[in-house]
A and B are shown apart, each in its own frame.
Chain A
Amino acid sequence: MALQDVCGLHNPPLFPQWSAPLSRSFMPEDSTHLSGGGIHGEAFSTRLPGRGGLSPLEFYMPIAEYLTESPINFGQTSLSSAPTKLLEIDHLHPSLPSISAAADTRSSCSGLVACPASPKVLPIHSHLVGTTSGTSADCALWKRILARELRLYKLRHHRRLSTGGAAKLLSHMLHPFKGTELCVAATLCGWDGDDEKHEQPITEKHANTPTNQMTASNSSVVRSRSRICGPRVIYVCSDGLRLQGELFSVGSGSPYAYSILDSSVYWGMSVQEATEVAREAVYRATYRDAYSGNNVDLYHVTAKGWRRRERENLKEEYYREKERERARVAERNAEKKAILKSDDGEIV
């Protein structure tokens, strides 16, 4: 089988522990199966560095010394959604703080639109949403790893890890991969604090996601500590950059969005206004940037958790704007004609 060959598993007898417990591991120096790619020549690299003698069921934790090349090197271009446009506005009405996160939905792959409807804002748990930019696969994987770690933290310590803690955790997990081709630029938007007093978070339209299971477990009694609680937006990048702020725009279309946001966002705006501005910013970026487009997803994070607005196709918005422009031009022409007519009337 192709996958078996790629992983170097040729002779089943070499891996009697296929069904063995996960904790057993081989000597890393056992490389009899590493040469398995010989049959296929040099078509693609089968030297998965650092796999050593790990059984395929074990989770592969890369060792820094072995990262001589990209861990995923099967000769295909990575699906890159680097070109996304997404932004977070930590708009605060003084008494009702919340976060709006918006993103486009185009995933491109060397000049083609690989997927016009990919979700770039991924919920991590009931009160934390992460926007993704960079390589789609990397983002999806690391979001899942982060979600797992946060869940484990919650089970062990009986409280949610703060957004800052989650960002630091993600940043430190990505640090060993610095210098490789891993590309993740995520913005974590979360609500910190003791929300156990509040009711269940509203999760419309997402009845099937695992997030629901997590919200159900929120009702357990938790010691509430006196710490700063409220919304938090933190940008984490695979370079290692970690920034906390109120407004971020990430991706290839981000400069176009920044210009809209910087003029329209202010402290104390309402949720409707913020949604409008976010939508407009994403629309403008999809207009100008080739790698952004298709739909816009909007999430809203409050003390009660995240809520999702229905995905909107920006094609409609584009045509509506064209229509508005046409109407405006027609109106201007009509005015000009009216003025000329009245002038003629006076002269004649």
Chain B
Amino acid sequence: MEYLIGIQGPDFVLVAADNVAASSIIQMKHDYDKMFKLSEKILLLCVGEAGDTVQFAEYIQKNVQLYKMRNGYELSPAAAANFTRKNLADYLRSRTPYHVNLLLAGYDEADGPGLYYMDYLSALAKAPFAAHGYGAFLTLSILDRYYRPDLTREEAVDLLKKCLEELNKRFILNLPSFTVRLIDKDGIHDMEKLPVGSK
């Protein structure tokens, strides 16, 4: 029902998430933001079970901020991803597992851009591109076909548009708009909501 996508370039990461907050068959909100800002250059995209997403994401967000306050410097994206994974794994075999699927995107001064795919079983993988949700079945092969490690920003946005067009065409659910953000050495940039002209 929900869709997340991330594409990593040579010096940036492009991420997008749909904007629908649904409750059974009703769309309760059309402009819901599924991205959580962990720090100046790290974004956590979180989908899954209703309350678990916000609870878990806010928990990680506050802990990353706490680390910064205690130690004076920020966690790197790799460290944040592993921290998230550890927490998810700890809760997995408890009485209250969190059923959330995540994408963590960030830019590190030393390592460059990074996109991390995490699922509800706390499997973690660093990938050049990734997607979550039923929409992933339709769009991963487009990414396989057209992705190149040396994409420019415009090319990445075009690739993203291709994926969203496919969703519009073939996905049974109507996902009218997507929030798009780009992370590079200058931080997180909000980009225009896609498709162009959607509220």
Q: List A residues at the B interface (Cβ < 8 Å).
A: 64-65, 171, 175, 178-179, 235, 237, 239-243, 245, 248, 254-255, 258
Residue B69 is within 8 A (CB to CB) of chain A in the complex = no
B191–chain A nearest beta-carbon distance, Å: 23
| Additional A-B contacts beyond A171-B51, A240-B54, A245-B29 (16; CB < 8 A) | A64-B96, A65-B95, A175-B55, A178-B51, A178-B96, A239-B49, A239-B50, A240-B50, A240-B51, A240-B52, A240-B55, A241-B21, A241-B54, A242-B51, A243-B29, A255-B25
Chain A contact residues: helix, strand, loop or mixed: mixed
Within 8 Å CB of B23, what residues of A? 237, 241
Residue B171 is within 8 A (CB to CB) of chain A in the complex = no
Per-residue CB proximity of B46-69 to A under 8 Å, as 1/0? Answer: 000111101100000000000000
Chain B contact residues: helix, strand, loop or mixed: mixed
Per the bound structure, the CA–CA distance linking A129 and B28 in Å amounts to: 20
Q: Which 5 A-B pairs have the closest CB atoms?
A: A240-B51, A239-B50, A241-B50, A239-B51, A245-B29
Q: Which of B56-112 contact A (CB under 8 A)?
A: 95-96
Query: In the bound complex, do residue B50 and residue A237 qualify as a contact, i.e. CB atoms below 8 Å apart?
Result: yes
B163–chain A nearest beta-carbon distance, Å: 26
Query: In the bound complex, do residue A242 and residue B54 qualify as a contact, i.e. CB atoms below 8 Å apart?
Result: yes
Within 8 Å CB of B26, what residues of A? 254-255, 258
Within 8 Å CB of B120, what residues of A? none
B51–chain A nearest beta-carbon distance, Å: 1
Residue B32 is within 8 A (CB to CB) of chain A in the complex = yes
B27–chain A nearest beta-carbon distance, Å: 9
A339–chain B nearest beta-carbon distance, Å: 45
Query: In the bound complex, do residue A248 and residue B54 qualify as a contact, i.e. CB atoms below 8 Å apart?
Result: no
B87–chain A nearest beta-carbon distance, Å: 16
Within 8 Å CB of B21, what residues of A? 241, 243
A271–chain B nearest beta-carbon distance, Å: 24
Q: Assuming the A-B contacts A179-B96, A241-B23, are A235 and B28 also in contact, with contact meaning beta carbons closer than 8 angstroms in the complex?
A: yes
Within 8 Å CB of A240, what residues of B? 49-52, 54-55
How many inter-chain contacts with C-beta < 8 Å in the A-B complex?
Answer: 41
Q: Assuming the A-B contacts A64-B95, A237-B23, are A175 and B29 also in contact, with contact meaning beta carbons closer than 8 angstroms in the complex?
A: no
Query: In the bound complex, do residue B25 and residue A245 qualify as a contact, i.e. CB atoms below 8 Å apart?
Result: no
**Chain B residue at minimal CB-CB distance from A67:** B95
Per the bound structure, the CA–CA distance linking A13 and B86 in Å amounts to: 50
Query: In the bound complex, do residue A175 and residue B51 qualify as a contact, i.e. CB atoms below 8 Å apart?
Result: yes
Per the bound structure, the CA–CA distance linking A235 and B51 in Å amounts to: 12
**Chain B residue at minimal CB-CB distance from A240:** B51
Per the bound structure, the CA–CA distance linking A258 and B95 in Å amounts to: 37
Per the bound structure, the CA–CA distance linking A175 and B25 in Å amounts to: 23
Within 8 Å CB of B95, what residues of A? 64-65
Per the bound structure, the CA–CA distance linking A179 and B98 in Å amounts to: 12
21 CB-based A-B contacts, threshold 8 Å: A64-B96, A65-B95, A171-B51, A171-B54, A175-B55, A179-B96, A235-B28, A237-B23, A239-B49, A239-B50, A239-B51, A240-B49, A240-B50, A240-B52, A240-B54, A240-B55, A241-B51, A243-B21, A243-B28, A245-B28, A255-B26
Within 8 Å CB of B49, what residues of A? 239-240
B36–chain A nearest beta-carbon distance, Å: 14
Query: In the bound complex, do residue B28 and residue A248 qualify as a contact, i.e. CB atoms below 8 Å apart?
Result: yes
A210–chain B nearest beta-carbon distance, Å: 30
Per the bound structure, the CA–CA distance linking A175 and B54 in Å amounts to: 11
Per the bound structure, the CA–CA distance linking A175 and B96 in Å amounts to: 10
Per the bound structure, the CA–CA distance linking A240 and B99 in Å amounts to: 12
**Chain B residue at minimal CB-CB distance from A244:** B29
Within 8 Å CB of B55, what residues of A? 175, 240
B41–chain A nearest beta-carbon distance, Å: 26
Per-residue CB proximity of B13-44 to A under 8 Å, as 1/0? Answer: 00000000101011011001000000000000
A69–chain B nearest beta-carbon distance, Å: 13
Per-residue CB proximity of B111-144 to A under 8 Å, as 1/0? Answer: 0000000000000000000000000000000000
**Chain A residue at minimal CB-CB distance from B94:** A64
Per the bound structure, the CA–CA distance linking A291 and B54 in Å amounts to: 31
Per the bound structure, the CA–CA distance linking A171 and B50 in Å amounts to: 12
A182–chain B nearest beta-carbon distance, Å: 12
B105–chain A nearest beta-carbon distance, Å: 24
Per the bound structure, the CA–CA distance linking A241 and B27 in Å amounts to: 13
Per the bound structure, the CA–CA distance linking A179 and B32 in Å amounts to: 24
Per the bound structure, the CA–CA distance linking A64 and B91 in Å amounts to: 13
Within 8 Å CB of A65, what residues of B? 95
Per the bound structure, the CA–CA distance linking A243 and B54 in Å amounts to: 10
B31–chain A nearest beta-carbon distance, Å: 8
Within 8 Å CB of B25, what residues of A? 255
A322–chain B nearest beta-carbon distance, Å: 30
**Chain A residue at minimal CB-CB distance from B21:** A243
Per the bound structure, the CA–CA distance linking A240 and B29 in Å amounts to: 15
